[in-house]
Structure 1
Amino acid sequence: MHSAVIERFKSKTAVIGIVGLGYVGLPLMLRYNSIGFNVIGIDIDEVKVARLNAGESYIEHISAEKILAARTSGFVATNDFSRASECDALILCVPTPLNKYREPDMSFVINTTDALKPYLRAGQIVSLESTTYPGTTEEELLPRVQEQGLIVGESIFLVYSPEREDPGNPNFETRTIPKVIGGHTPACLEVGVALYEQAIDRVVQVSSTKAAEMTKLLENIHRAVNIGLVNEMKIVADRMGIDIFEVVDAAATKPFGFTAYYPGPGLGGHCIPIDPFYLTWKAREYGLHTRFIELSGEVNRYMPEWVVSKTADALNSQGKPLNGSKILMLGVAYKKNVDDMRESPAVEIMGILDKKGAIVSYSDPHVPVFHAHGDYQFDLTSESLDAECLNKYDAVILATDHALFDYELIANNSNLIIDTRGKFRSYKSNVVKA
């Protein structure tokens, strides 16, 4: 059975199903479509489905032209899960957030698998790409996939291959980012490699789905811990009157044994602030307490409070209270040059400022409108930056260092700048490092 499935991928006669058409699923769809595969996209969001079928994009760095080209060459989006039966591969790219107790919320993965279950058939491969704790594929997907009598490794195949998208990074694309993959059985792994090696330049095989799941967590925990370290160093350096950005730049000249991580206002995005807690949760099942990981999480979660504290102190030094001050947030996306606001520390900072009585506005060339977001009910539009706009604010906080910002304009026309990104290091008179 698995040899016939592999041949369909090699000959590009297989139909690829992408389940979840967001920041991970949409680029993957475009890649498979561009190399000649017939692709069906499945998403529960009717608005997304309608926009894609109309040739429109809802992600800034993915152009409408690319979506329209995919539509022209056969791609179709649907919220009809029965079409999964047409697919030879079902690649799951759905969210895995935390609940209010900072525990894994597996509802998207479980509900999606349950919705696909009636339409699974012999000869398919199911691949989970969502970041999750080690054991998810075996514990949650395996029994559901086999519920209808299919046998994983014989009549149907199951793999885990974590997504590695980096939106806004011009140096990498879906094709060039190596793909880690682990199979439930050796036959599953062979089929999974055949699926991904058509679209990805390098496929990295590991021994199991658990190893692949742990690989993704290690990647993101590595970043979270190192960012937590440099954020803590930032606070120490600030108390000592040392520029932490200067220190990191100097340390980065060492050609071995050091990787540069830069501080900021906190962690954002769907991965780095969330994924480490998948492992801390699972580790408790084995009687382990991951203190190192949790400590870095505490440091990173504190950063928005630190920025607000620095802002309040800076305003106080000018004889102004935080309550009633007009503050402009520069950037509300979680990272530069993207429109993604998920888990953005800028939003957290805005929420804290608002609760303390500040009058908050924002400017972000990538986010023209800011409606309700999580716990925050702001209804704002992005301010256009010019000298008059900047001058009317008591303080501006640089939270996201977009390339489209005119930093000289900002420096020369702002009454007070709270710099969380080190972009105004050459300016002294009206800049406070945070």
Structure 2
Amino acid sequence: MVSALGMAAVLGGCGSTGSSDVTLRLVAADYGDSRAHSSEKYWDDLVKDYESTHPDVKVEVSVYSWNDVDRKVKEMVDAGHAPDLAQIGAYADYAAAGKLYPASELLSIRTQANFLSQLSDAGQWKFTQYGIPFAASTRVLFYNKTLFTKAGITPPTTWAELVADAAALKDKGVKYPFALPLGPEEAQAETMQWLLAGGNGGSGYTDDIGTYTIDSATNVSTFTWLKDDLVGKGLTGPVAPGKLNRADAFAAFADGQVGMLNGHPTLIQQAAAKGVKFGTVPMPGRTGKARASMGVTDWMMAFKQNGHRDEIGDFLDFVYSDKNVLDFSRTYGLLPVTSSASNAMSASNEATDKSLRPFLEELPSTELYPVGKTSWAAVSAAVKQNIGQAVAPNGSPNGVLTRLQSTATAADSATAD
């Protein structure tokens, strides 16, 4: 699985050395965009700080690319050598298999209560929290200020305004008036953002009780609008949305070729590095601001196989201190997962914190993928491979969403107890 929050090359382990009574092994994902900026340095510094006051505990951290980390953990678990801790993209399969400690058996009451409620709720499997939020992100609409000025337009607040802006950008020769990445890299994210913006009770992939509603009338209407009013009018650029990946769309925005697109915080640094003048606004809904923003959370989890519950819990209380949460968020342009760190970032005048504020403001109304469902991995994979067909010239939004609903229903049945 490739997370919406991470990217980088495979890196080796980190952590200090020396004899100790207990050794904790943590496998973590890399959020950096280069070896010099890798998560390895973050964990190395954190572990040194922790071990300096806990001489009886050694922590060994192995950092891997998002292309590899989930597979690495699965291989370790399947081989009977689960790590003590894993910081990866999904937890539900391991929770359902009875392999994880509940968060309540690990964390202090203060630490567990400090997580943002919508994130800790998403970490529940069968009403018990196993997934511990580690990093969060929301989406907002990025727009190129220079291109908007040349076209004489202002940021859209409704879908009608979005189409009008995209048409004006097209008239000025902008390559991608609105970049719509529905390619297989991360189509499940772009899709959910539009489903949440659909109005009339658009609910994303599931309803309020967790039943898949992919082919709801509102969702079909949303993709019909995308196909007819945005893609069909030639407003999404030269690459078919089903073949446009998120990384390529972000790169095109940083190159000044995109008028608008949905983006997460990592695009800030990417665009700024290329000198693009950009602004951000909430994602437009059908008739006003979208009901909710799509959020993504990556997860920390603790495996029971090796014991070490007390040591794991003490280490995690340290990991989730305000200092460490804020250091990580500021280094990698992501949002804090705890209330106290979020409040500190909101009140801060640091440049990095101010740049993240639009995303932080979306967090209270964020809706996440249905990660507590063990069927989600299969459904997400199906969306990645098929949703682009819904907006193709000869595509059928109703047909594609109906097939995805069938896939989701079958996957749900197959993973039910």
- TM-score in terms of structure 2 length: 0.30
Larger radius of gyration: 1
- TM-score in terms of structure 1 length: 0.29
Q: Which has the higher contact order (CA 8 A, sep 6+)?
A: 2
